[in-house]
Amino acid sequence: MSLATTMIVLFLQIITCFLFTTTASSPHGFTIDLIQRRSNSSSSRLSKNQLQGASPYADTLYDYSIYLMKLQVGTPPFEIVAEIDTGSDIIWTQCMPCPNCYSQFAPIFDPSKSSTFREQRCNGNSCHYEIIYADKTYSKGILATETVTIPSTSGEPFVMAETKIGCGLDNTNLQYSGFASSSSGIVGLNMGPLSLISQMDLPYPGLISYCFSGQGTSKINFGTNAIVAGDGTVAADMFIKKDNPFYYLNLDAVSVEDNLIATLGTPFHAEDGNIFIDSGTTLTYFPMSYCNLVREAVEQVVTAVKVPDMGSDNLLCYYSDTIDIFPVITMHFSGGADLVLDKYNMYLETITGGIFCLAIGCNDPSMPAVFGNRAQNNFLVGYDPSSNVISFSPTNCSALWS
């Protein structure tokens, strides 16, 4: 703990050059049809009865390509809205005096008004943190302990005294690649020591569920209520790697309609996790060679005219007034989860309309593969590190808690 600066490079949202529509209505109904690994039963080995105590939760919001949760910091409690990121660990919020902050809609947290804010000391000095995300956005500031409060199912607030948080004083302020104004900061949820779940002190750490959609509000659950079970639920094996705080899945194949493209025989093939699931990244990313195989399969089906993507992701895009012409994509994960994705999950329409892009980016092979948040839309997604599964239950997320 004597390191004056922690330097972490992690993976957050990666937004492409096109602005994609926020009107998330799926005009084509719900085409998700999952093969079940275990009918009816919970994929988790934990049953709700085993889990004691109240279940913390928070309200979530959608803004363009990101998902946000509400929480309170300080005494008296001050509400912040921060991005939900299972691909990083530190919790930070923009923090007064904020010499180099991006403009945010909500008031900025002022630690001088909180009686529980304590700067962490490193060798007699402030402890600095610096986090740089995959899209090169960053936050720098000082580490502190502070009370964090979220609601719980008992009706009593779930109070986390002396939670380590980052007081963000210098946060990327670039017009196009900065943080969203709707967001006060980021809530890291991976397995790293500074993440919200690592600091929650629940009997089974790491149980998380969320349900994302491009409209309305939803909830993120922790503990008891985060077990995802019931009809239609499928489970993918979760792989936890040594000294690696990400939640890995193993992608065996992708189907473009009936055309199955196995990872076997490609450099992407693995049996112990080759892609991590991330709530904080919008698109899905595959390594270049495998990615090109999937794109070629899409190109074989789509006859519309291609349009170059000017963004850094160089997506496969077409002129089209309708999403109907695009093939259905199914992702086959080890453990028996074959996720038949809605077209909304896999094709993004530009904000001005008339162009759709495949929501799969091709990564340099040195970069990890990521299963992004758009692909997870309209699934209730449950993380259960104690059973090594990630469960997916097809759900109309905007209707779930409304």
Ligand X SMILES: *[C@@H]1O[C@H](CO)[C@@H](O)[C@H](O)[C@H]1NC(C)=O
**Site residues for ligand X per CB under 6 A:** 26, 29-30, 39-40, 396, 398-399, 402
Q: Which is nearer to ligand X, 151 or 394 (CB)?
A: 394
Residue nearest to ligand X (CB): 399
What distance in Å separates the CA atoms of residue 383 and residue 386, rounded to the nearest whole number? 9
DSSP state of 95: B
Output the smallest distance, CB 36 to ligand X, in A. 9
Q: Which is nearer to ligand X, 312 or 402 (CB)?
A: 402
Is 278 tagged catalytic? yes
Query: Hey, is 43 helix, strand or coil?
Result: coil
Residue 83 in contact with residue 280, Cβ under 8 Å? yes
Is 110 tagged catalytic? no
Query: Hey, is 135 helix, strand or coil?
Result: coil
Q: Which is nearer to ligand X, 30 or 319 (CB)?
A: 30
Which candidate in 89, 135, 237, 278 is catalytic?
278
Give the Cβ contact number of residue 192 at 10 Å. Answer: 17
Output the smallest distance, CB 342 to ligand X, in A. 9
Closest Cα to residue 202, out of 46, 66, 322, 78? 46
The token pair at 368 is 């990890």
Q: Which is nearer to ligand X, 8 or 328 (CB)?
A: 328
Output the smallest distance, CB 379 to ligand X, in A. 13
Identify the residue whose tokens are 């309609």: 257
CA R_g for the chain: 21
Residue 64 in contact with residue 20, Cβ under 8 Å? yes
Output the smallest distance, CB 262 to ligand X, in A. 30
Residue 361 in contact with residue 14, Cβ under 8 Å? yes
What distance in Å separates the CA atoms of residue 251 and residue 257, rounded to the nearest whole number? 17
What distance in Å separates the CA atoms of residue 20 and residue 356, rounded to the nearest whole number? 9
Residue 320 in contact with residue 354, Cβ under 8 Å? yes
Q: Which is nearer to ligand X, 172 or 233 (CB)?
A: 233
Output the smallest distance, CB 188 to ligand X, in A. 30
Q: Which is nearer to ligand X, 67 or 383 (CB)?
A: 67
Output the smallest distance, CB 29 to ligand X, in A. 6
DSSP state of 211: E
Residues annotated as part of the active site: 85, 278
